[in-house]
Structure 1
Amino acid sequence: MTTPQKLPPEDLFLKPPVFTSVAEERRHRKERLAATMRIFGRFGYEEGLAGHVTVRDPETPDHYWVNPMGVPFAHMTVDNLVLVDGDGAIVQGRHQINLGAFNIHQQIHQARPDATAVVHTHSIHGRAFSALGRLLDPITQDACPFFEDHALFEDYTGIVLDGEDGRRIAKTLGPHKAVILRNHGLLTVGETVDAAAWWFVAMDRCCHAQLLAQAAGPLTLVPPEIARLTRQQIGNHLIAWNSFQPMYLQIAQSDPDLFGSGD
């Protein structure tokens, strides 16, 4: 019989920054959003006009910063980002947005006040796994953070053109960190852009791993009680935020132009 282990103490980890002003927090969120798009470009997550990340504005929480339509992920800068209101109207920015993205993200933000950021792209392994119409299995330690903490949206009806489809996706997501959109791809949420982005990268890699493992033979699963314990240990916001920091530091150093004019 396995003896339950203690959870790792939080003082072992870095802590997200605390801000002294709304302007400082807004700038931070925009920088992390632009950096996420650069990282996603390197990972090959871009697919035409698809792929979007939204983050709440810290001063006006029913307004959202989003990457614009048609700007390559690899070229994204803070200056490119667009601010939209709760109806999808552009408040600030010179580019158009993907309204299909807005129809999904806005409904999730409304249903989940804790979801500061929402991430969705058409990554190859996420799309491939979504076609199986099933949840991820706890086949590795890295998959355990998603054990009993992701959902499957099984009702693909084409491009999301109105809020009703977005509401149904939000309802399926429920309190979880992620949802697999059947025949579509993956979507993740987080208390920060960093956490939401990390969950997306981690989930896409878990999809890749399970596709490889299933092709090789029968799966050996982590027992449920151990999968739950592992989720408690490494499936929280703080771990996700910490896990994103090496990727952020790397892109910030290699692509300093992502910070734009600094306004």
Structure 2
Amino acid sequence: MATTLHDDKDVLVGRAERQMGEHFGDSGLTIRQKLALTCRILFDGGHDSGLAGQITARGEEAGTYYTQRLGLGFDEITEQNLLLVDEDLNVLEGEGMPNPANRFHSWIYRAREDVTCIVHTHSLHTAALAMLEVPLVVSQMDTTPLYDDCAFLKDWPGVPVGNEEGEIISAALGDKRAILLAHHGQLVTGGTVEEACNLAILIERAARLQLLAMAAGTIQPLEPALAREAHDWTSSDRRDKANFAYYGRRALRHHPDCVTEGTAL
């Protein structure tokens, strides 16, 4: 006999949140493993653009972070070939050099203590939208984690290898989790690697949906209160972990070499 059919929505939301807390926990993967998996997940998700883009995560010591080696594509990253660098991009662990454009990651990490992971890519549809100098419009339920949470930098500051670009991009990002960079690409941040990976997948999907909708007609806005409700509901840590585990399992089927043999999700 059903007992919840007359429960208020907030009661059902609380029930679902408790259940997610019971069923979805941390994977036990290391930061290196999560980062390597993120590179493969996003490669499969259309974020590949040759050697462009950087995916980073804070290291154990303050002022350090992991990143991929310049010269390797996202589909070549493993937990073993990641670099550990300091804020000046000096290599502390690993062989090779980081992408000089990692410099603006240092600025974001300094400005945002809540950020543990940064994903910056030139994914196809976000790059196309950036060419139009049009902000991201969130008007579909699946992409509501980005509702009122994606900044827009309309003026392209040039190749982001200087400190000036680091100041400009980190200031434009502000307290939001994502930013669309005109004539450039996208950048998302997360308090966890899982969160940043999920947002990177979503921002590319949101840009693709926006371009398709713009070609067909006029995009209609979401009702703000409902959009904010959906943003909060879909932005939980447990949901991030569940999504990442699914994407990770899918990536491991295609790229078993990116983490230590026998790693499972």
Question: Please, what TM-score do these two structures have when normalized by structure 2?
Answer: 0.87
Alpha-carbon deviation of 1:92? 0.9
Aligned match of 1:24: none
Contact 2:188–2:200 under 8 Å retained in 1: yes
Tell me the CA shift for residue 232 of structure 1: 1.6
Q: Equivalent residue of 1:78, what SS?
A: coil
- Residue number in structure 2 paired with 1:23: none
1:194 aligns with 194
The aligned amino acid for 2:44 is: R
Q: Give the secondary structure class of the aligned counterpart of 2:118.
A: strand
Distance 1:169 1:238, change over 3 A: farther
Amino acid at match of 2:19: L
The alignment's TM-score, normalised by the length of structure 1, stands at 0.88
Q: Which runs of 5+ in 1 are unaligned?
A: 20-26
Cα distance, 1:141 vs structure 2: 0.3
Offset at 1:197?
Answer: 0.9
The equivalent of 2:210 in structure 1 is 210
Q: Once the 2 structures are TM-superposed, how far is the Cα of residue 10 of structure 1 from its aligned partner?
A: 2.5
8 Å CA contact 2:158–2:165 kept in 1: the answer is no
Q: Which of residues 22, 26, 30 is equivalent to 1:17?
A: 26
In 1, Cα distance between equivalents of 2:25 and 2:188: 19
SS of structure 1 residue aligned to 2:80: helix
Contact 2:150–2:176, Cα closer than 8 Å, also in 1 = yes
Q: 1:49 aligns with which of 48, 51, 54?
A: 51
**How many percent identity over aligned positions?**
30
Q: CA deviation at 1:242?
A: 2.4
Partner of 2:66: 65
Aligned residues of 1:190 and 1:237 also touching (Cα < 8 A): no
- Show the counterpart of 1:145: 145
Deviation at 1:44, TM superposition (A): 3.0
1:113 aligned residue: 113
Relative distance call for 1:49 and 1:253 in structure 2 (3 A) is: closer
Task: Name 1:35's counterpart in structure 2.
Answer: 37
Equivalent-residue separation in structure 1 for 2:136 and 2:46 (angstroms): 21
Q: For each residue in 1:22-45, what CA deviation from the matched residue of structure 2 results, as whole angstroms up to 9, or x when unmatched? A: xxxxx6110011111112222232
Of the structure 1 ranges 244-253 and 172-181, higher mean CA displacement relative to structure 2 is found in: 244-253
